[in-house]
Structure 1
Amino acid sequence: MEEDAPVVVRVDDVSKRFIIRKDNSLKERLVTLGRTGRRHREDFWALKDVSIEIRAGQTVALIGHNGSGKSTLLKVIGGIIDPSSGSVARRGRIAALLELGAGFHPDLTGRENVFLNASILGLSREETEERFDDIVAFSGIVDFIDTQVKFYSSGMYVRLAFAVAVHTDPDVLLVDEVLAVGDEAFQRKCLDKIRSFQQEGRTIVLVTHSLSQVQELADRAILLNHGEVVVDGDPNKAVSAFRDILEVRRQNEAEAQAAVHGVATDELSRVRDGHVHSAVAHAVGREPGEEVHPGDDLLISVVVSHDTGIDDWVCAVQIDNTLGAVVYGTTTKRVGIALPHLAAPRRVDFLLKNVAFGGGKYFVHASLMDMAGRHLFDLPQATNFDAPSHPDYVGIVHAEPVLSDAGEVALPVVVS
């Protein structure tokens, strides 16, 4: 996508406020009726001064934890809700698949809802009739197309709604997390359709919790946290920053949960006082930073400590590829290593013999755990290494392709 491509979505200093009422019962609402005091309501700012530009041909992923504002931003872009302040400018036809069954009437059949939803997305009746067979074929629910949609499963809802959205020839396609509802085969079909849209130069804005999809599909990622843009740019950097945020939240929630359930202070201290200081990965005989070649021995050195001391502990490493898929993982417990008392910083070396990584970048995560498997400290993406690409294959596993030509093969003739 060229930098001089036209801007199709411009979000300028947008904020969105929702009012959360604190009177939880009908009686409380009647008592507080007409009162505007802040004791009975709370302002929640889902978006705070967000400014972004999306150019034609970009695939932009909006990521963040639940409540970060990503779905709100998608609805603002699609014109579903208006911002409390700021402005949004759009160019071209927008098709939005934002909520399960949005635009469907439960008492109408699937056939009737195709025409209803298509008209909402800007198609004339004649255009919908021309594309109807393709829409139904893509959805895969031809046997239920004349059934009222209130009898549809959630997966059938998604199939039909997505089929209508992608057959309206949108310039901008907005997709929320609803794709996660479909089965695996339909998800692959949707991803193939998205890739074809990318090849056609269409603009796609998607919200997803699948970080592997972000790294695979998006050429740009926007990380939101508490309604503010934290990272806007390279998907790998945005995903890495998001994982850091999730790890901080996980640790805070673990401590809060432990406090609620009355966990002893010394046990909480054990969790807080564990540390993974660093991890280094490199091929034996090569300098740190050099590529790890097939056949090398990979040495991963992890430095851990515990402020108050711990006897029963486990060190773990996990290697992921850039899509977040686990390539390899092991622990000292798995390989039967008994570790001595841990207090002062101690180094644990994992030596992986004769590795066979395919070309690409790999991330190493390191963890300190107790014998029950509870994580005392995690250091996500503690280090990384690269494996050289090979001209004869792609993938995460190295295997030399050796072909031989044994001559022509006589195919059997079947006469029926």
Structure 2
Amino acid sequence: MVVSPVSGPVVVRVDHVTKKFTVRKDNSLKERIVHAGRRGRAHKQEYTAVDGVDLEIHAGTTVGLLGPNGSGKSTLLKLIGGIVSPTSGSVLTRGRMAALLELGAGFHPDLSGRENVFLNASIMGMTPAETTARFDEILEFSGIGDFIDTQVKFYSSGMFVRLAFAVAVHTDPDVLLVDEVLAVGDEAFQRKCMERIQRFRSEGRTIVLVSHSASQVQELCDRGIVLKDGAVVFDGDVNDAVSALRDVLEGRRVGDTAAHDSGKPIEITRIEVLDAGGTARDVVPAGSPMRVRIHVQAKQAQPTWDMGFSIDTPTGQMVLASNTERLEVALPALAAGESSIDFTIESANFGPGQYFVNANVWPGVPEQTHVMWQGTRFTMEHDDTSIGTVAASISVA
């Protein structure tokens, strides 16, 4: 079991927890009447959403739960929040917990926003006097305005989540559980939420976040947990967790590198990122030159061959790609054995964050192409003056 390096006390302990659900196959009333009284489980199926999970979360850490749809992320968060009980195992928590798990959870559709603020806050352990004292802050943060006295059944999804999040973050929680709600709302509100989470982090509070956004998890979290089929397949550094998530999404075992295909006449064996002087780098200053060195193994000599590379974000978005054909470069004849080729990027103007490097090689015919995915990764250094996928020098006149 991997635990956070933070020395604070354990605020969440999940001890060999399994959660199973029974899924009915006879969904209509007619089918249930026909099957009523029949023995056996032919019309029921047991589904394991969380399978033997062990983990500890220390105070003051921000943990991201990652995984494909159906991997058990939301169920695990509900188990931590006490919304559902485990089939086996135990979940122990300490401190006040605020859970923002579903859109409008805890809201009554026939009550106004104002009434739901008091209802939701009471569910989270606040007294009416405490809620009254913080009501104006909650209203301002949510941006609901005059709609606060409108029944919430008339709210848009964005209004729902803004008000729910505003209540959750003003209950003074020790542990905040957040499930995908940061994907709702406009960009300004999402930024406001992320700023509040950053403030919580600086105050030493604990946050457990479920998100499909790898960049969001990298920005907010200091630890990543990846789930697949209800089980933890990775628990550790958040950047390594994003890499593990990509392995899961692409059907590979976590940590596996691309296997050499003995059927290809040329195989890529390794990829390196170097600076202009040829020194290996895993951190590259924005705007500096960098080299991508691709190592290959040829089974026999090749009179003609080509090579290419691409650079992706953690979510798989390509930010740069090229190859010798596009560059109109004819590589010299390749001798049998090991060789390497460098692609030089004169100015690496990528935005801040982590990137993965892929490469491919082929001897004359594309059908013989060998590809190495995520052969290496690097992080772009930045000065916090800009964000995005492109780095540029900016001045104000």
Question: Normalised by the size of structure 1, how large is the TM-score?
Answer: 0.75
SS in structure 2 opposite 1:45? strand
Q: Deviations over 1:64-111 (max 9, x none)?
A: 111111100100010101111111111111100000010101111111
User: 1:101 aligns to what SS in structure 2?
Assistant: coil
Amino acid at match of 1:18: F
Question: What's 2:142 paired with?
Answer: 139
Question: Structure 2 vs 1, CA of residues 43 and 325 (structure 1 numbering), >3 Å: closer, same or farther?
Answer: closer
2:271–2:292 CA contact under 8 A, matched in 1: no
Contact 2:324–2:330 at 8 Å: present in 1 too?
A: no
Q: For the structure 1 residues 378 and 195, does the alpha-carbon distance in structure 2 shift closer, same or farther, using more than 3 Å as the test?
A: farther
Counterpart pick for 1:384 among 373, 377, 381: 377
Q: 1:352 aligns with which of 344, 358, 374?
A: 344
Q: CA deviation at 1:125?
A: 0.7
Residue 241 (structure 2) aligned to one of 223, 228, 238: 238
Task: State how 1:40-59 maps to structure 2 within 5 Å.
Answer: 40-59=43-62
The 2-side partners of 1:285 and 1:385 are apart by 17
Q: 1:204 aligns with which of 191, 203, 207?
A: 207
Given that residues 282 and 377 in structure 2 are in contact (C-alpha distance below 8 angstroms), is that contact kept between their aligned partners in structure 1? no
Q: Deviations over 1:3-30 (max 9, x none)?
A: 4422111111110001112224333222
Is 1:317 the counterpart of 2:313? The answer is no
CA deviations on 1:19-48 (whole Å, 9 max, x unpaired) are 112224333222211334232111111111
- Which of 264, 274, 277 is 1:282 aligned to? 274
The reply to whether residue 7 of structure 1 matches residue 10 of structure 2 is: yes
2:321 is matched with: 330
Q: State the shift of 1:149 in Å.
A: 0.6
Deviations 1:291-350 (A, max 9, x none): 767654524437699xxxxxxx99551154xx769684123499475999xxx9999957
Distance in structure 1 (CA, Å) of the matches to 2:284 and 2:352: 10
State the secondary structure of the residue aligned to 2:149: coil
Q: Secondary structure at the match of 2:248?
A: helix
Name the CA distance, whole Å, in 1 between partners of 2:36 and 2:282. 69
Q: Find the residue that maps to 2:80 and give its secondary structure.
A: helix
Query: Using a 3 Å threshold, how does the CA distance of structure 1 residues 201 and 345 change in structure 2: closer, same or farther?
Result: same
For residue 110 of structure 2, what is the aligned residue in structure 1?
Answer: 107
Q: Does 1:171 align with 2:163?
A: no
Size of the alignment, in residue pairs? 370
1:365 corresponds in structure 2 to: 357
The 2-side partners of 1:154 and 1:304 are apart by 55
Match of 1:70 in 2: 73
Structure 1: which amino acid aligns with 2:311? Q
**8 Å CA contact 1:365, 1:378 repeated in 2:** no
In structure 2, give the amino acid aligned to 1:37.
Answer: G
Kept after mapping to 1: 8 A contact 2:267/2:361: no
- Post-superposition shift, 1:214? 1.5
d(CA) in 1 for partners of 2:130 and 2:356?
Answer: 52
Post-superposition Cα deviations, 1:390-412, rounded to whole Å, max 9, x if no partner, equal 99989898878999xxxxxxxxx
Q: TM-score, normalised by structure 2?
A: 0.79
Q: Distance in 1 between matches of 2:101 and 2:181?
A: 7
- Equivalent position amino acid for 2:358 in 1: A
Asked if 2 retains the 8 angstrom alpha-carbon contact of 1:281 and 1:301, the reply is: no
Aligned to 2:89: 86
1:329 is aligned with what amino acid?
A: L
Residues 1:119 and 2:122 are matched in the alignment? yes
* Partners of 2:268 and 2:361 within 8 A in 1: no
Counterpart of 1:255?
none
Question: 1:406 maps to which residue?
Answer: none
Q: Name 1:301's counterpart in structure 2.
A: 294
Q: Secondary structure at the match of 2:164?
A: helix
- CA-based RMSD of the aligned residues comes to 4.2
Using the alignment, how far apart are the partners of 2:216 and 2:358 within structure 1? 23
Please name the residue that 2:191 is paired with: 188
Partners of 1:245 and 1:347 lie apart in 2 by: 31
Unaligned runs of 5+ in 1: 250-271, 306-312, 371-375, 404-416
For 1:85 and 1:392, locate their aligned partners in 2 and report how far apart those are by CA, in whole Å.
46
Tell me how far 1:222 sits from its aligned partner.
1.1
Q: Write the mapping of 1:375-414 to structure 2, written as runs, cut at 5 A.
A: 379-385=372-378
Are residues 339 and 160 of structure 1, via their aligned partners in 2, closer, same or farther at CA, if it must alter by over 3 Å? Answer: farther
